[in-house]
Structure 1
Amino acid sequence: MKKMIKNMDRGILFMLLASLSFAMMGGFAKIVSHILPPVEVTFFRNIFGVVLVGIAIWKVPLKQRGGKFLLLLFRGSMGFMALLAYFYIMAHIPLGEAVTYNKTSPIFVAIFAYIFLKEKLHPSALIAIVLGFIGIILIAQPEGGNFSKYSILGIFSGIGAALAYTSIRELRKYYDTRAIVMSFMGVGTVAPLLLMLVTPYVTVPKDFDWMFAVFVMPQGVEWLYVTAVGVFATISQLLMTKAYELTKAGIVGTISYSNIVFAVIIGVMLGDPIPDFWTVLGIILVIVSGLMVAFAKEKN
């Protein structure tokens, strides 16, 4: 019993540190996204992971069945697109709001798992989904019934992440976890390079300017910023993995929402306005919604 409590305490600590690291990554990404194109920031965010996961695979070869390559590619592509949208909106809206949009993914996971994986949708999960959508509307505060480009991309970052997470449930039957992670980081490294290479030769519609840009060579302290994005992203993944090893998923998932609080604080320190009442209420509803979905899943 004492050992279980000790592991739980350590798991909570690791998740808190992971959430702080994730928020720190967001802070540096917000700074550098004002200087470098989001697609380039996405490249630097993933290149560190490719190296680390590549070393891990080299040391311990993959053991897997394989056979679902297109689904693996889909997972990587959705993860990349969600991350790209996430980095884009960071430069234009408060960090806390950007992180909250990304944390709507559990709401969409519940929906996609019901549609594609035929998982049961608990009544409390249905209530959670409704609360989550109300929270999204309160954060977006659409004018005249129209969502801004940044709100749409914020919601897309949650949907894209949810599609990636949902596909993992099927991919785990066929692929080593490291191969699944590499699919995301690999696509997230190669795709930005291709997009930056073709940008000078295509006419980019305004609605898709978040995807395309010409490579800009980082200068001086900018190298520190892009390195920090990659380092804190990797640290947060490692700490989160350790947290899930030590503590029940429901507890860890609950603590993970602390990254919204950290993000709001860091965002304000970087010059973001303090969230108004309706934004705070929306953030709270998204958090409550995510927790309800998690607890409904544990009941099932």
Structure 2
Amino acid sequence: MRERMSRIDAGIRYMLFASFMFALMGVFAKLLSQTMPSLEVVFFRNIFGVIFIAATLVKRPMKHTGGKGWLLFFRGMMGFLALLAFFYNIAHIPLGDAMTYSKTSPIFTALFAWILLKERLGTVGWTALFLGFVGILFIARPTGLILDKTAWLGIFSGAGAALAYTAVRELRNYYDTRAIVLSFMVIGTVGPLILMAISPYVDIPELDMLFGEFVIPPAGIWHYIVLMGVFATLAQFYMTKAYGVARAGVVGAVSYSNILFSILLGLFIGDPLPDLSTWIGIALIVVAGVAVAAAREGRSGS
């Protein structure tokens, strides 16, 4: 019993640290967005990850059976587009709001698992989905039936990540985990390069999240790029450790602390304090996400 509680405590500590690192990554992504397009920020975020994973391959080569190449590409593409939507929102709305949208991914994951994998949701699951979508409306505050661009991109940042996670559940039967992550990192590096190369020839203001000309980073912000990469890598590492030592339901619930960290850190870089409607939306999304995780863990343990 004591050992089990110790593992839970360690998992909570790891996830709290990972959540704080994710929030710090968001801060530096927002600062970088003041001098370069979101597309370029995504490029630098991912190339740091490619270098890190490549270093691990030198010590321990990948071993897997392979196959499902189209699904591996789909996972990488969805991860890249979801991250791009997330970083675009970081540049244009408060950091806490952008993080909250991205944390809707567990809700969408449950929905896609029901649609694509025929998993049961049950009463708790459906109630959680309803609360989660109501929470999104409280944050997005649509005018009539119309949502603005950042709201749609926020929803996609959660839904796109959920599609990527759903694909991972199948891919892990065929690929080394690093290969799955690398598919996302490589597409997230090559994709921005292609889009930045064609950006001078594209003038579609409505699609500004997809295009942006490369800007040579000024000497004074290179440390922001390095710090963003370091914090992102630490976040991924400690998140993995957290899920490795404690139950997913407990760790997943603690992961929502990155919303609070993002709000607090956002205040230091000029973000406004969330209003009542946003706080209600955040609360509903957190409750929904925790409920979905608890329901799925209950089914897997039964």
| 1:23 Cα deviation from its structure 2 partner | 0.3
Structure 2 equivalent of residue 19 of structure 1: 19
Is 1:91 aligned with 2:95? no
**Deviates further, 29-38 or 129-138:** 29-38
In 2: Cα distance, 1:226 partner to 1:140 partner: 30
Does the residue aligned with 2:61 lie in a helix, a strand or coil? coil
Does the residue aligned with 1:91 lie in a helix, a strand or coil? helix
Structure 2 equivalent of residue 239 of structure 1: 238
Does the residue aligned with 1:212 lie in a helix, a strand or coil? coil
Q: Deviations over 1:243-300 (max 9, x none)?
A: 1111111110010000000001011111111111111000000000000100110111
Structure 2 equivalent of residue 264 of structure 1: 263
Structure 2 equivalent of residue 108 of structure 1: 108
Q: Which amino acid aligns with 1:97?
A: D
Which blocks of at least 5 consecutive residues in structure 1 are unaligned? none
Q: Give the total of aligned pairs.
A: 299
In 2: Cα distance, 1:11 partner to 1:296 partner: 20
| 1:52 Cα deviation from its structure 2 partner | 1.0
Structure 1 equivalent of residue 219 of structure 2: 220
| 1:161 Cα deviation from its structure 2 partner | 0.4
In 2: Cα distance, 1:161 partner to 1:268 partner: 26
Structure 2 equivalent of residue 294 of structure 1: 293
| 1:204 Cα deviation from its structure 2 partner | 3.3
Is 1:6 aligned with 2:13? no
Structure 1 equivalent of residue 53 of structure 2: 53
What's the Cα RMSD here? 0.9
| 1:4 Cα deviation from its structure 2 partner | 2.0
**Deviates further, 147-156 or 222-231:** 222-231
In 2: Cα distance, 1:59 partner to 1:190 partner: 25
Is 1:123 aligned with 2:123? yes
Q: Deviations over 1:176-201 (max 9, x none)?
A: 1010010011111111111111112x
Q: Deviations over 1:101-143 (max 9, x none)?
A: 0000011101111111111112101000000000000001112
Q: Which amino acid aligns with 1:91?
A: A
In 1: Cα distance, 2:112 partner to 2:145 partner: 26
| 1:233 Cα deviation from its structure 2 partner | 0.6
TM-score, length-scaled by structure 2:
0.97
Structure 2 equivalent of residue 70 of structure 1: 70
Spell out the pairing of 1:120-269 with structure 2 (5 A cutoff).
120-200=120-200, 202-269=201-268
Structure 1 equivalent of residue 277 of structure 2: 278
TM-score, length-scaled by structure 1:
0.98
In 1: Cα distance, 2:87 partner to 2:244 partner: 29
In 2: Cα distance, 1:197 partner to 1:58 partner: 31
